[in-house]
Structure 1
Amino acid sequence: MTHSVTFGKEDGPFYFQHIQRSGSFERTNHMHDVYELYYLYHGERMYFIKDHAYLITPGDLVLIKRRELHATADSDKLGHERVVMNFSESFLGSATVEIPYLLDAFAQGTPVLQLEPAFRPTVEAIFQKMMSEIKEPLLGQHFLLRQYLIELLLLTARYVRMHPVQAPEHLSPLHEKISKIVQYINAHYMENIRLEDVAERFHMNPTYVSRMFKRVTGFAFVEYIHLVRIQEAQRLLATTTIKVIDIADQVGFGSLVQFGRVFREICKTTPLRYRRASRM
């Protein structure tokens, strides 16, 4: 059974969804050009972000940076209630200039903030105001939603200054091993990375690496390599004037044709169109 309140599009300037699920929910993988905030009210979820797996429990606030690879999945306990928000800097308007530390919480050593119980009602009250505005929209709806988001970001920026956070320990030795493999890929994506070579480097069986990599990260081995390469290609397209053919080579693709095909599959557009759109 599922109950939800949704506003906007996931890839738009602002997206909000509050959802309650009573059973299993299939794993979802993401990489997008917007920031993401995820708050868990009840239940448990597994989250893989960048190169680390996390068990998310009630009161945890997850902060995902732009273009950061992440995946969610069921834990052993099924059923959960959460809020997820995606937003672009353009939605915040001039707020990031007026409040330069507004996005500080996204720059911490860990993307997961385990909020103290006394702080949770303050955060949940902001989500409640957003839901009320979405359910009964009145004049100035977008303005109020932006103000509530700014209030939340400001509170999280204050929170991380008063409560220094550290990355949690790995959930198991297997998670730690897969994390090291992910870190290796993140550092060597521009090279010709083969599953067999990686398995040998980490003294593991290739079939086992493939199966466990998928289980822990949510991504197939080759899929993850492609996503990391496209992630860097997006950055280069948006911030440099390097030719597309040179970017394809620089991020590790064997040919321009392969680069174009994978880029379209992931980004739903061509590299040149992405470059133009990123500069509008």
Structure 2
Amino acid sequence: MHNIKKSIAAFYNETYEGFKMEEHFHNFFEIIYIVDGSALFNINGKEYRACDNNIIFINNFESHNVKLIKYPYKRYYILIDSDYLYSSIKDMRLVSILKCRTQNFRHVLCISGQNSAEIYGMIKKLYEEINNEYDLKDIALKSYFSLLFTFIYREFKPYFMPDSYGSLSNEILKIQKYIEDHYNEDITLGKAAGLFYMDRYYLSHIFKKVTGYTFREYVIRQRLSKAKDMLYYTDETITDICTDSGFNNVNNFIRTFKNYEGITPHRYRKKYRKLY
């Protein structure tokens, strides 16, 4: 976990021995591209063996750990916050690979043949653009992101939101964005249904089908994501973090946090600040 408070960041690392990354979290979407070596990833309880020319998509709710299998382990990884993701990629279908977790979803995709050279080239371009101050940098970055996600979409369409949902998919992703922007307010299924002119029972059903989360779970996970961010990056009190992240009282916040994370907010802060 890097101590980063940017909208986007990119890294390249090589590891030759003795590497194990403990379970961790960051309030970013993460894209990992493995250049060489192999590793065992555990992402929200799903286990994958990933190797060279694999690309991995992890969202801001998903805790994950990594154990190396084959050295040297060389990889690029890109961290993107929610606002930058939405401003870079306008087509909601493309965003869905980071936003939706249906039953058949795979975090690790294997790139083969000529496709691997194409995607590797795009990842390298993104890395260079992010870490240098080139002219028209923002335009170039958004172009490369759109191109990368479009390329991945064409090759791995089943892991994106299905076309069969039509305009409904855009509505669900807009509701996800609404929750992200208003997580510290009183958000209810009924209120969201009213704002987006949908029947609440239908919204409940389709939200779960499209995203893999119930509406309530998505709100809670969004609030916990913000709370974990504040626990790591700030010295705010637990009470202030509870309020700022949208929970109605401290006892409910601590109980919910422990139910989802397995430890209290205080222990979480102590553990991850010590590790990173």
Question: 3-state SS of the aligned residue for 1:23?
Answer: coil
Shift of the 159–35 alpha-carbon distance from structure 1 to 2, 3 Å rule, reads same
Calculate the TM-score normalised by the size of structure 1.
Answer: 0.57
For the aligned residues, what is the CA RMSD?
Answer: 3.2
Count of matched residue pairs: 190
Calculate the TM-score normalised by the size of structure 2.
Answer: 0.58
> Quick check: 1:116 aligned with 2:112?
yes
> Quick check: 1:46 aligned with 2:65?
no
Structure 2 Cα separation of the partners of residues 89 and 147 of structure 1: 17
Q: How does 1:20-59 map to 2 (within 5 A)?
A: 20-59=14-53
Shift of the 9–151 alpha-carbon distance from structure 1 to 2, 3 Å rule, reads farther
Q: CA deviation at 1:72?
A: 1.0
Question: 3-state SS of the aligned residue for 1:20?
Answer: strand
Q: CA deviation at 1:240?
A: 4.4
Structure 2 Cα separation of the partners of residues 86 and 136 of structure 1: 16
Q: Which residue of 1 aligns with 2:267?
A: 262
Q: Which residue of 2 aligns with 1:182?
A: none
Shift of the 244–143 alpha-carbon distance from structure 1 to 2, 3 Å rule, reads farther
> Quick check: 1:104 aligned with 2:96?
yes
Q: Which residue of 1 aligns with 2:250?
A: 244
Which residue, 131, 136, 141 being the options, matches 1:140? Answer: 136
Contact 1:24/1:79 (8 A) holds in 2: no
Opposite residue 93 of structure 2, the aligned amino acid is Y
Shift of the 51–245 alpha-carbon distance from structure 1 to 2, 3 Å rule, reads same
- State percent identity of aligned pairs: 15
Q: Which residue of 2 aligns with 1:274?
A: none
Shift of the 71–241 alpha-carbon distance from structure 1 to 2, 3 Å rule, reads closer
Contact 2:43/2:65 (8 A) holds in 1: yes
Structure 2 Cα separation of the partners of residues 152 and 69 of structure 1: 24
Q: CA deviation at 1:36?
A: 0.5
CA deviation profile, 1:95-117 (whole Å, cap 9, x unmatched): 45x31112222335111111222
Which residue, 123, 129, 133 being the options, matches 1:127? Answer: 123
Q: CA deviation at 1:156?
A: 2.0
Structure 1 Cα separation of the partners of residues 252 and 159 of structure 2: 44
Gapped runs of 5+ residues in structure 1?
1-7, 165-229, 269-280
